[in-house]
Amino acid sequence: MSKNIFITGTGTDIGKTYIAGLIVKKLADSGRSTGYYKAAMSGNDRREDGTLIPGDALHVKTASGIDQSLESMCPYVYETAVSPHLASRIEGNPVKLDVVRDGFNQVCEAYDYVTMEGSGGILCPINFDGE
């Protein structure tokens, strides 16, 4: 079973991704098997091929030097730069709790230490429904 750290903050752009990257780097530099996870991220840019770049995951991966795939770091990546619950509605791709849970569990099985970053601020929902 992995050991897990959850990073949250009072709002967007408060430094969660920066701190997550430092923690993941420190753990990796100390020889620990470490991964990163975020349920949903919005406000992402597109590659030339049209696919979305999960910016927060890319930052953590680059800053820490871990080899975890970007695809395993975040199941929901949105272009619209609003909270994930609004972006998911606008883009027609609602966050499903079972997808988030399954992805997190897979990362936990692959790494001894997992740093999970919250989406938006501490009270920011990731979807509109009862989940």
Under DSSP, is residue 5 helix (H, G, I), strand (E, B) or coil? strand
Contact present, 103 and 111 (Cβ < 8 Å): no
Sheet holding 113-117, edge to edge: 3-7, 113-117, 34-38
- 3 an active-site residue? no
List 26, 38, 61, 96, catalytic entry: 38
Sorted by sequence, the CB contacts under 8 Å of residue 98 that are 6+ apart come out as none
Residues classed as catalytic: 38
